[in-house]
Structure 1
Amino acid sequence: MKIPSRTFKGLAIAAAATLALTACSSGGNEAEPSEGGEAGLSLMTEGQLTVCSDIPYEPFEFTDENGEIVGFDIDIATEIAADQDVELSIIDDSFEGIQSGISLNKCDVSISSISITEERKGNMDFSDPYMEDDLVLIAPEGTDITDLESAQDKRIAVQAGTTGETFGQENGLQTIGFDDSGLQIQALKAGTVDAALGNISVLGYAIKDETGFVRVEEIETGEQLGVSIKKGNTEMADAVNGTLQRMEESGELGELEAQWFGEAE
């Protein structure tokens, strides 16, 4: 997938991501922050914006048929790195690590469809919101699950550590957690769960070309997605917000949303 604008930066993603993933799996020591970028940001690695992301989480971040990491979040991360005149490196990390703030000990920022919540604000700072999202319950056609009430005592697939899991548990659903959304959808297709609960942006995208699955209830939660930043790092927050504001004002953010999600929303 072509990354809009500043494509010369996008060419470095695959190689940088491979190195980052290797370093992550080796269990090596964390890198010492270095100065880098036009704004003199303190970065984990000089001349490189290191971003933690939970892969796959289509269409926000996933590996395409060419082995490159692409997606809506990745396009935004590319723009942030380009505005700072640095390369982009992607580290694949668990969402539980990302949403708890642990990932920020090895990354400059995390961008992975992270909903801004008061609980998470206790562990990290957030950029301005870059997208709004709600939850949806999907199930096979012909099922007796027609809403949240009829989903009681059913096996509901959720992604561990997400707002979908929290909402399901708070509403008395029998949730079964999965490490990523891909496994969540696979379980639904295999029939090992009765339904799936998660963000419309992800589950709507996952079934938009599938037959045999329907949205049985959409739940308005007013979620807003943001880039997570280490607490107190105002310089990084200003840099990220500057890119988001530029993309919003130019219309590029809306174009990317239409490109990746289409009518999934």
Structure 2
Amino acid sequence: MATARRSAPVLAAVWAVGLALAGCGSSSGEQAGASGSAGTFTVCTDSPYAPFEFERDGKTVGFDMSLGQEIAHDMGRSLQVAQADFHTLVSGDALDTGRCDAAISGMTITAQRRRDVDFSQPYFNDQIALLTAKDSGITGFGSVGRATVGVQRASSGEQYAKDRKLAVKEFEDVGQMFQALRSGEVEAVSGNISTLSWEAKNHPDLRLAQTVDTNENLGVAVKKGNTEVLGAVNRTLDRVTRDGTVDRLKAEWMGL
């Protein structure tokens, strides 16, 4: 989205919001996480943002939470999830105060955000995609013609469509955008592959017509200077990339 994760309005609450699991990491004066008390690895997130994080049966689940489980496992700790406003994650406030050891919340790595937090190596490339009905005849952005493309306001999907001079209809959130596609109000929608593939997975009458790499890479954020947790996170990301775990999670949560 407009830096992929929520400088645009948050994803519509298509999933019922369950409990926010409170958690406290190590104090802000410590290198949090690997030395955290009670053997926990506390992750802050802002849900719902399916398929990365959302509530199911009273638990926060999704691609990011599965990734957090892998990191916690490799650290020999149990995962604890704490809900936090997204702006406190990108600003580093939730990390600086010791509320959590890391933030995993569909966060795009940007130069501006790097001033406030340290990012892991990228764990997901959130490409721009075009979603349409299977029988629409649209094969990609170049074949949209005069059809109307739905976009989330202030998102990178909107900018990409506008840069190509396509006719767009703006929506406040992706839930409204997807509903417009299913009702025929728009012929296609432009947005990030993560959310569009989730919609395609749950609606077999839709298909991804095209994906375009715009270099929107997601990362895990840690407190500035916290090399201990950053190293642990990157070691797990190396492993899950090497052993195929990331591919399995993409298939499970996104249908990719």
User: Structure 1 length as normaliser, TM-score?
Assistant: 0.66
Report the counterpart of residue 56 of structure 1 in structure 2: 48
1:26-45 equivalences under 5 Å are 32-33=27-28, 39-40=34-35
Describe the SS at the equivalent of 1:201: helix
For residues 79-126 of structure 1, the C-alpha deviation after alignment (integer angstroms, 9 at most, x for no partner) is 222333333222334545544545545432221232323333233221
Describe the SS at the equivalent of 2:100: coil
Structure 2 stretches lacking a partner, 5+ long: 1-18
Q: Give the alignment partner of residue 203 of structure 2, picking from 200, 210, 217.
A: 210
Report the counterpart of residue 10 of structure 1 in structure 2: none
Following the alignment from structure 1 to structure 2, what is the Cα–Cα distance between the partners of residues 39 and 139? Answer: 45
Report the counterpart of residue 157 of structure 1 in structure 2: 151
Describe the SS at the equivalent of 2:103: strand
Change (3 A) 1:190 1:62: farther
For residues 206-225 of structure 1, the C-alpha deviation after alignment (integer angstroms, 9 at most, x for no partner) is 12341543434422213322
Identity, % of aligned positions: 36
Aligned-CA RMSD value: 4.0
For residues 141-168 of structure 1, the C-alpha deviation after alignment (integer angstroms, 9 at most, x for no partner) is 66697755758995633276x6445645
Describe the SS at the equivalent of 1:20: coil
Following the alignment from structure 2 to structure 1, what is the Cα–Cα distance between the partners of residues 141 and 89? Answer: 28
What's the CA shift for 1:169? 6.6
Change (3 A) 1:58 1:141: same
**Residue type of the partner of 1:156?**
G
Describe the SS at the equivalent of 2:220: strand
Considering fraction of residues, name the structure with more helix.
Answer: 1
Report the counterpart of residue 237 of structure 2 in structure 1: 244
Considering fraction of residues, name the structure with more strand.
Answer: 1
Report the counterpart of residue 79 of structure 1 in structure 2: 70
Following the alignment from structure 1 to structure 2, what is the Cα–Cα distance between the partners of residues 104 and 188? Answer: 39
1:1-265 equivalences under 5 Å are 18-20=20-22, 32-33=27-28, 39-40=34-35, 47-64=39-56, 66-95=57-86, 97-105=88-96, 106-140=99-133, 148=141, 150=144, 154=148, 156-158=150-152, 163-164=156-157, 167=160, 176=170, 178=172, 181-182=174-175, 184-186=177-179, 188-189=181-182, 195-261=188-254, 264-265=255-256
Structure scoring higher RCO (CA < 8 A, sep ≥ 6) equals 2
Aligned residues: 235
The answer on whether the counterparts of 1:59 and 1:260 sit within 8 Å (CA) in structure 2 is yes
Change (3 A) 1:154 1:252: closer
